[in-house]
Amino acid sequence: MRAVGIEAASVYVGQAVVGVPTVFEGRGLDASRYENLMMRTKSVALPWEDPVTNAVNAARPIIEALSPRERDRIEYLAIGTESGIDLSKTIANYVQRHLGLSNNCGVFEVKQACYAAFAALETAVNFVAVAPRPGTRALVINADIPHPVQGTYYEPSQGMGSVAILLGDHPELAVFEPGANGHYTFEVMDSCRPRYTLEVVDTDVSLLAYLECLEGAFLDYAAKKPGTDIMRDFELLCMHTPFGGMVKGAHRSLLRKLTNLTKDQIDQDFLDRVEPSIRYGMRIGNIYSGSVFLALTSALAHSDNTVARRIGAFSYGSGCGSQFTGITALPGPAAAALRARIDAALDRRVELDWDTYARLADLAGRPAAGTRDATVDADIGLVAEVAADNAAPRLVLTGISDYRREYRWEGRTP
């Protein structure tokens, strides 16, 4: 079985951003709770953005960097989402078409709340590891869209974006451990989407389930790799990140159970090993099944890339399912280049005022899955300037006709 890892990664951070304090003030939320989120801004979905456009726009830079021959070696496309747009047809079908991937590329979609993309990743890693031909690649993308739970303390953390990961046997960013995964699952009603535009969240139950899964998945991993030590064996940790404060609390809870560290030592360990992974989340927000991918890219981008480092990665999805795995970050220039691209994209976002954000929140999720016919309203004041200000090529949703979603490329077509 050949080694498999990340050859390239790309993050679509959206085109618009709002300050989290702006959301607190606009909704009349208690400002004293702001600091606990450990967030500064969040990306905001625009009317022409949906799970398909997010996935395609995340992967576009990766695909453009490949030769036609290299592109045709992508033999597997796996989409993780909790924002499926059809009960039968997958988002992957649209993504394969608009990225121009080979007709011999296998495609599928995974649903398990925020764990979906990591489950897709595990499957894709194993596919590449046993592929009969060297040089086989797989593309894994999260594809979600938020539906703001307006007026709640959940809304300020709901971000927007997608992460694309290209897997292969010539990794430049990181290497995975095929088969070395810890899992933990049980049925719980902490969060669900009974309708496409409705998110139901019990934050207290979700936090408790998250904490139980983090401990359970790590202990399962350690049982499969006897002698594993949470402090000794990982230079970095990254986790599913609904918001940074939740990750900080989960890290503290786990180390209290597994170590004899003092509070000050745990706080320092968070700064040393975990904080690099939440920096992008602090600026983008919770991107659902892609949040652990975002945490991983943040850890890679904001830590020493001159030496190999072991990363412990934890993915959690409500309902619930979870996984803990080990990843080796590779030395080299790829991580610094990734950081430069993401930082530039973050700085290009257009900042929204409260009134524009509030209107976008009202329009979120429209047109909804199951809509037969619809057009997309792009006339929203400041938002209309985004297309002119952002020169990067991007796929946009133009409407739905007889249930068929219609898209076009703005800017230069890949």
Question: Which residues form the catalytic set?
Answer: 82, 114, 240
Element (H, E) at 108: strand 106-110
Q: What is the per-residue DSSP string for 328-396?
A: EEPPSTHHHHHHHHHHHHHHHSEEP-HHHHHHHHHHTT-SPTT-SSEE-----GGGGGHHHH--S-EEE
Q: What is the per-residue DSSP string for 33-47?
A: GHHHH--SEEEE--T
- The rounded distance, in Å, linking the Cα atoms of 357 and 44 is 8
Q: Under 8 Å CB-to-CB from 174, ≥6 apart: which residues?
A: 5, 6, 296, 300, 311, 327, 328, 329, 330
Buried b (16+ CB within 10 A) or exposed e, 60-96: bbbbeebeeeebbbbbbbbbbbbbbbeeeebbbbbbb
Which one, of 122, 113, 146, lies nearest residue 319 by Cα? Answer: 113
- The rounded distance, in Å, linking the Cα atoms of 412 and 398 is 17
Q: Under 8 Å CB-to-CB from 354, ≥6 apart: which residues?
A: 18, 22, 25, 26
- The rounded distance, in Å, linking the Cα atoms of 311 and 111 is 25
Q: Under 8 Å CB-to-CB from 362, ≥6 apart: which residues?
A: none
Per the DSSP assignment, residues forming a β-bridge with 139 are: 77, 166
CB 298 within 8 A of CB 276: yes
